[in-house]
Amino acid sequence: MRGRTGVLICLVVVAVASFWSIEPRLHHEFPSMVDDWSAIEKSPEQLRSVLRLGSPEGGRYRPGFVMWNALQWHTLGAPTHFLGPLLWGVARWAVLVVGVTLLTLLLVGRPARLRDGRWLLAIGVPLVAITAPSIAVDIARYGPQEPLLVGCMALGAVLLVRAVDRLLDGERAGAGVLVAVIAGLVLWAFGILQKEPSICVLLLAPFLWPTLREQRARWDLLDKRRHRVLGLLAAGILLPFVPMVVRTMQIALTGEPLYAGLSAGKSFSTRLSDQLSQAGGVLHTELPTIVVVAAIVLLAAVVFRVGVDWISVGLLVVAFGFVVFAAHAGVVASRYYIPAIAIAALVLARSAVRLGPVVVLVVGVFLVGGGLVTARSAHDWVWRWTDGERAQERLVREAAARAAGGCPVAVVGLNTEFVVALPVLMPLAREQPRGCAAGERFVALLDEGGPGTVTPPDNPVLAACRPAPEPVWIESVGRLLRCTA
């Protein structure tokens, strides 16, 4: 197994295992009442604002996310038809798989022999990074940006490093190098522009200096024209960070966490502690935590036995930067861990290589085995999530059928996102008229459930029902009530 054949086999193994974990997503074809409705309704106007170099979301700056939403929900027949979102969702997953796998091979070195344990690392790192149960759900969903942030930046970085290496070798910059540069810059920029935490990657810059210094002899052999080309390439790599840094600083100056209501009363140290201590519960597996600890231990062993690996140290700093950024937001969410887990797994693999083939084999088997186990669990979690999405779809269709019959359908409840989402999604259901008699009207009651999260009966919309609202459809996501007065 050599060269491209080995890479292809690694990609196939990772793709099959990770795709199986999110396969239940393919069995549900309707937009979600979480995030998807917002992309459908808002992304066209937000895209126009982004193209005018505006900031359409106020307290957020996510131009790449806005562009992706417009592509996903307003091309290939969407939102009326669901084929477009499915295809774009598969493309997002594929970029993540290819990007993390190839970046692993870049950092550990491409093996030349069948029995080289680095092939296991190239399979295990992406499996661990993307098959934790909650992360599989995040990938199955269409809202989270982290899969594109990690996938595009990883694949873009691989293409750009390969192109720079070719240029430093003094080879003729043919069509292949040109394509790699253009594709690499586009992917790299698109990943950075997904959301503000991407600026954490800048923390890696000072740790790259020893590696760049080692390449000085190659730089000295280049002519002035090639020096200018590489200078322009470096500028292109840094340019996407400029608007992200500027906008992030402007937002930070407001002094308000992104989810101020959820983090009210918590100090930053408490929020950071929550990010570190609650990871296992949120991800529904302790494997990522074990990977992080193992990465730190092996990196320390490398420093003691071989010397400082500045790239690995820098990568761990970047991973911690993503955790700190999430702590500032004040919410513990599985999607926020995706960059940190991927980076920690990369550090673990790179450190194993420096400690010898036995350690490589042990770490490789651990990563592959752990990734396959979590993939199995992830498949079940994605099925359960898909069942919840089907319940939301049934709610939308029940309400849409009454509206199609000419009955007014009011929406009320304490689940504020569902209350706003339902009117957006009802026209997409295209239901036949059903269950609407003369003089009837309906109320969709959408509560989150639990103490203090039930709409009181004296709510004006409910109180207007006489003699009392009659339930005609009940499920965990909400109730549809009939009013006769």
pLDDT of residue 384: 95
pLDDT (tens digit per residue) in 53-62:
888 877 788 9
Instruction: Output the CA angle 84-49-262, nearest 5 degrees.
Output: 80
pLDDT of residue 171: 63
User: CB count, 10 Å around CB of 71?
Assistant: 17
pLDDT (tens digit per residue) in 240-291:
999 999 988 887 776 555 555 555 567 888 888 989 999 999 999 999 999 9
- What contacts 146, CB < 8 A, 6 or more positions away? 138, 194, 195, 335, 336, 338, 339
**Cβ atoms of residues 371 and 128 within 8 Å:** yes
Which of 270, 257, 260 has its CA nearest to residue 325? 257
User: CB count, 10 Å around CB of 381?
Assistant: 22
pLDDT (tens digit per residue) in 312-348:
999 999 999 999 999 887 788 999 999 999 999 999 9
**Per-residue pLDDT at 3 exceeds 80:** no
**Per-residue pLDDT at 174 exceeds 80:** no
Q: How far apart are CA 354 and CA 61, in angstroms?
A: 39
Which range has the worst mean pLDDT, 141-150, 168-177, 322-331, 414-423?
A: 168-177
Q: How far apart are CA 5 and CA 225, in angstroms?
A: 36
**Per-residue pLDDT at 300 exceeds 80:** yes
pLDDT (tens digit per residue) in 124-147:
999 999 999 999 999 999 989 999
Q: How far apart are CA 385 and CA 136, in angstroms?
A: 10
**Per-residue pLDDT at 414 exceeds 70:** yes
pLDDT mean over 90-111? 95
Which of 77, 118, 149 has its CA nearest to residue 336? 149
**Per-residue pLDDT at 202 exceeds 70:** yes
